[in-house]
Structure 1
């Protein structure tokens, strides 16, 4: 019989241990949250726990195994240093004797100072299950976003929090009111708190700038009778202040990418009349101003990605409003604007519109942008089909085949801290009509080999125009979106979190 899930907070007294090499270790104070507000309790069927410490300079993990009724002495002491991670794995059966992993939780990386106790919190989550987010202060209470949102943005901040901005609320009568609010999710507490207003905008873009501020650009100010938001906002979440700017052209459903120095490239989008916008534009975070980019880019529904050098931005896919484009173009910021590099551009194997991109691979292995899904034509109502092939954007001169995935467009894809990619939802064609899907996949990179793909449990309901964000503990937060799979839009209110299976 499983133990009753409880909030386990064992505050270990400060304990400094000296090893044979003179290295000092500190026993942590662990707050282990084992209660769920909904779904399968994390300790259901669990008999044993494995506590595991990893981090830079630790050649092998520090591990201890206990029964589910653990004590402070069961948690390994942690050597002083940076980037330490304490992981808790929950098993049905003894871990090294065929026990099955059921739940998993870990801290964000944290620093341990010699002679000072580390106080950490771990949310134990059922493996692979989409469950509502719970609050640290009341673990049996679910944390709800303050508003319904679809077509919004979710930006992970340097301190681990997530900024949600704008979007629209799908209503039963077909109306789609657009929001100008923001809210901030704190994964340490499991709470949503209001942020500053940013002007009504949906299908806009959000770019994280050096220093942690967020640039929100464009979007639709209203959708029922389309009008565009002409402003951009720079949001400082810490102070709650915003700065209003005005781009040179209003657009929505555009694409952006930001390089390592805070230069943002804006491409494509649509005007208030529904026409394609071919004018490019840049933003320089250092000067806080928008800059002209020479020439036009005849692409809408394109996808932008930054190569591993942090400076080169690739423009892949999209269409000239008539047919998909295959050439992958490259840009860098130099002097006072972006300029196009002029190698012979590589070509996509499958030209596509509405694709998604995520970085695949560990930092030490050189992560590369993976282009996922899309439609193979401009209009799915006129024969365009969802694409199942993915492609790796290797460099400014090379594209290679990626793994075969479920065919869909406008999926949400997110890179995990360990280099894997989770792909959730999106639009398929059924038959010829684009509808939201509930598909979920995990892409696992392999050095010098083709990545593998693992199917995850389906989302609780089909979703498109939602957000998915990697949290510091390796889980994925899913917020908002719309389910139009039945022909009538339905919008989820709850925020979901899923913990993918570990790599080892």
Structure 2
């Protein structure tokens, strides 16, 4: 049997030439299909809806914007029912020889206000080709369930997820109702459905690190089960390989933190070994080897945020599980050296979360305070634009009490759009002092107020991934009763 393929670009999947025009009843030389020699590109757009609430209800029109070297915009009128009784499929023609495009679909009300939005994965517009592009449209600034076809086949928590190929979502491992698993699932983010037949990974893993090194290779390291190897998944061949670990790495490495280095490598640090002792290692992983960079990190499992400084790339370490350590330090990932002279707030935190926003600010939120039991409710804001430090400026500011309803630990901080200067981040999947899931909160570094964004199902121990569509996905996890979940929730941010 032929192995299933990971999702590639829409153009690569749909290459029907002129015969497709004839099959559609369109004569050559007429309408969208153009002349027989050089028929234009033909793009069929399928507008997809989340499971549950219809984001198109009450809106008047759909606006289709094809972002390429130029911009083409089309407007379609919506039925009063928001399209629930009809097929939300639209077809457009283009004369381009070849263009890479991203399609944005917005739903507007009668006052021209955008109420819902979605974007496609990138695709190629090519003369003579007919392709189908799917766009999932979601209500702005709230959580929605992914389409029913995106449900996990195995409910899981403490698993990994990564974007692979040109538009695939790989979900692997974790803990299920039956224990730690080897199962793997892949979803196509153009069709928004599962891709069957993906092979299981070599060993069961839960509470491990997972990162896409590039479009084809995904690396898995650590976990609660003993293993002397890392696992590498190769998308084009749909095969797994194993990479031996250095002898100084523990065979049980629970919860290592991973930083994608954007050069087909990743760095790992933090976490705990099988005896719950902090792992003092900085480790580099590539598609062929795992190496130890340093073995003397003196911070136990801090939050880690990559930042750019005058001296180059550094990791901002904040807090850790040993009380009394000053909150902040900078780590040089090339050498493992910790720059202890970095200005630090006079506090210590454990299990806090951090996110880089606006290119030059870091929001630190949550965690336990100095006594190890009281939840922190105020934010710390690092200004990387302050290069001279006091008295010229202050690198750190107290953002004030932003978690007035109570704090959290173990959340994942995700910037909304840092590359374009957006100073907001959303903090996802935290738990309170009783290990109950807490609401996600949206925080702006310039105006530190936490705005609650309740999920459809509050959850912790989920995998969090930014999709190539711009949406933020929270996959699986544990509900308030501690049961593994099989649903995926998506957040479509409100544009600034």
Alignment of 1:238-317 (within 5 A): 238-244=236-242, 245-247=244-246, 248-250=248-250, 251-278=253-280, 280-285=281-286, 288-308=288-308, 312-317=313-318
Deviates more, 1:108-117 or 1:177-186: 108-117
CA contact (8 A) 1:66 1:74 kept: no
Equivalent in 349, 352, 369 of residue 352 of structure 1: 349
Distance 2:210 2:385 in 1: 25
CA contact (8 A) 2:150 2:187 kept: no
Alpha-carbon RMSD: 3.8
CA separation of 1:133/1:327 partners in 2, compared to 1, >3 Å: closer, same or farther?
closer
Alignment of 1:416-427 (within 5 A): 416=416, 419=420, 420=422, 423-427=426-430
CA separation of 1:88/1:453 partners in 2, compared to 1, >3 Å: closer, same or farther?
farther
TM-score, normalised on structure 2?
A: 0.75
Aligned to 1:150: 157
Shift of residue 271, structure 1, vs aligned partner: 1.8
CA contact (8 A) 2:293 2:336 kept: yes
Distance 1:216 1:155 in 2: 10
Aligned to 2:482: 489
CA separation of 1:86/1:350 partners in 2, compared to 1, >3 Å: closer, same or farther?
farther
Equivalent in 384, 396, 416 of residue 394 of structure 1: 384
CA separation of 1:283/1:110 partners in 2, compared to 1, >3 Å: closer, same or farther?
same
Q: Where in structure 1 are there 5+ consecutive unaligned residues?
A: 1-9, 18-24, 135-140, 222-227, 362-366
Shift of residue 158, structure 1, vs aligned partner: 4.6
Deviates more, 1:44-53 or 1:404-413: 404-413
Aligned to 1:131: 144
Distance 1:412 1:121 in 2: 28
CA separation of 1:189/1:395 partners in 2, compared to 1, >3 Å: closer, same or farther?
same
CA separation of 1:500/1:30 partners in 2, compared to 1, >3 Å: closer, same or farther?
farther
Distance 2:302 2:207 in 1: 14
Equivalent in 60, 63, 66 of residue 73 of structure 2: 63
TM-score, normalised on structure 1?
A: 0.74
CA separation of 1:347/1:41 partners in 2, compared to 1, >3 Å: closer, same or farther?
same
3-state SS in 1 of match to 2:207: coil
CA contact (8 A) 1:105 1:124 kept: yes
CA contact (8 A) 1:423 1:441 kept: yes
User: Do residues 209 (structure 1) and 221 (structure 2) align?
Assistant: no
3-state SS in 1 of match to 2:171: strand
Distance 2:184 2:60 in 1: 42
3-state SS in 2 of match to 1:87: strand
Distance 1:83 1:356 in 2: 37
Shift of residue 195, structure 1, vs aligned partner: 3.9
Aligned length: 440
CA contact (8 A) 1:198 1:233 kept: yes
Distance 1:106 1:402 in 2: 36
Deviations 1:410-444 (A, max 9, x none): 11333456755552533354xx534311234265x
Distance 2:202 2:449 in 1: 39
CA contact (8 A) 1:370 1:402 kept: no
CA separation of 1:27/1:332 partners in 2, compared to 1, >3 Å: closer, same or farther?
same
Distance 1:456 1:67 in 2: 33
Distance 2:427 2:340 in 1: 34
Distance 2:95 2:370 in 1: 55
Shift of residue 303, structure 1, vs aligned partner: 2.2
3-state SS in 1 of match to 2:206: coil
Shift of residue 458, structure 1, vs aligned partner: 1.0
User: Do residues 197 (structure 1) and 201 (structure 2) align?
Assistant: yes
